[in-house]
Chain A
Amino acid sequence: MPITTEQEAIDTIFPDDDTKNINDVIQTLVNGNLGTTEEVKAILKSANPSVDWSF
C-alpha cells in the first residue's frame, strides 16, 4: 500500500529504528542514485501529493 503520511515513509525504510527522520529517508534515496536531495524531495512530493510532507 502506498504511504499516506511522512511517518509511514520513514517506517518503510527504517521499520525498527525510531531515531530516523525524513532526511534519512531522502538521503537513502539520494545514495540509491535517484537524484540530488532537492530532486528526491520533488520526486516524493510529485508521486505522493496527498502526504503532508515537512520539507
Chain B
Amino acid sequence: MPTINKISDHSEMIWSQGSTSLAASAATTNGTHAGAGASTLIATYFKHSSFNLYFNYRAFLSFDLSGESGTVTGVTLTVMRQNSATTPILHFLASEASDDVAVADYQDGLVGATGYPFTDDVTKFVDSGVNMNADGGGDGDQVTFTFNAAAVTHANAVMGSGKFKVAIVNQYDLNNTYGSSGIGNAFAVQGAVFNSTQDSTTGNHPILNVTTADPTIGSVKLNGAKIHIVNGKFLIN
C-alpha cells in the first residue's frame, strides 16, 4: 500500500510559566510563551521552586495533507529525539491549533478542551499514551508512534483539503495529577525532548506517515471496438 511521508510544516511548543506550582501552570487558559524560535519540541515540564519556576509545556504539530489523495488506512508519527529521558508518559491528542502557534492555542488548540482539566474531553490518537521507557529510543534516534482509528478518521477528513494536527501533552497535565506526582526540583526540562520545525535540519523535523489503500483499477469493455495509436493520437474505432 502507498505511504505518504509528510514533513511537518509547523511543529512548535507553547508553555505556561507560573510561580506557584506545576498544577497551576497547567491550568491556565493561555500559555505565556510560544516557542517560535526554539529548536526543541517539549511536552513535559520544568520545576525549580527556589527560582520560582514552574513550566508546563505542550507541543503542537501540523502536517499539510491538502495536496494528497487516497483513502487513509493507517497513520504513524516519526519524531527525532534530543535526549534519552524515559518519563513521563506522553499522550497524543487531536489538535486545532493555529498554524503559527500562539499562546492562545495552549488550551484552545486541543480539540474538545473547554476548561481544565480536559482529561475526558479530548480525542486521543494513541489509546493509552506512550511509555517512553518502552518505546522511546535515545538521543538522536528517530522514533515512530502508531496512531489509532480516531487518527485515521481525522486524516481521511482532511485528506486533500486540510491539515492533520496533533498535540502532545504529558500524563500529569492530561490527568491533572501534578499535585500528587511528587515531582521535585531539577535544573533541566524533564522528559523526552524532540526536534521542532525550527531545527535547521529539515531531516530532523517531525514526519507524518500516512498509509493509503491501493488505488482501484477499473476496466473498460470495448465490445468489438479497436484501439489505435496513430502519430501520438489515441483512437478508438
A: which residues have CB within 8 A of B? Answer: 1-3, 8-9, 12-13, 28-29, 31-35, 43-44, 46-48
Residue from A2, A32, A33, A35 within 8 A of B50 (CB atoms): A2
Q: Would you call A29 and B187 a contact (CB within 8 A)?
A: yes
Instruction: Known A32-B187, A32-B188, A33-B189; judge A44-B51 contact (CB<8 A).
Output: yes
Task: Identify the closest chain A residue to B185 (Cβ).
Answer: A12
Tell me if B52 and A28 are in contact (CB < 8 A). no
Report the count of interface residues on B (CB-CB < 8 A).
19
Set of chain B residues within 8 Å of A34, measured between Cβ atoms: 46, 53, 55, 188-189
CB within 8 Å of A: which residues of B? 17, 19, 38, 40, 42, 46, 48-53, 55, 82, 186-189, 193
For residue B82, which residue of chain A has the nearest CB? A33
Q: 30 A–B contact pairs at CB < 8 A?
A: A2-B49, A2-B50, A3-B50, A3-B51, A8-B50, A9-B50, A12-B48, A12-B50, A12-B51, A29-B187, A29-B188, A32-B46, A32-B188, A32-B189, A33-B46, A33-B82, A33-B188, A33-B189, A33-B193, A34-B46, A34-B55, A34-B188, A44-B51, A46-B17, A47-B17, A47-B19, A47-B51, A47-B53, A48-B51, A48-B52
Q: Kindly state the separation between the CA atoms of A35 and B40 in the bound complex, as whole angstroms.
A: 9
Q: Which of A28, A32, A33, A48 has most chain B Cβ within 10 Å?
A: A33
Which B residues are CB-close (under 8 A) to A46? 17
The SS class assigned to the A binding surface is helix
B208, chain A: closest CB distance, angstroms: 24
Residue numbers in B under 8 Å from A9 (CB-CB): 50-51
Residue numbers in B under 8 Å from A32 (CB-CB):
46, 186-189
Once the chains bind, are A35 and B38 in contact (CB under 8 Å)? yes
Is B38 within 8 A of A2, CB to CB? no
Q: Is the CB of B50 within 8 A of A1?
A: yes
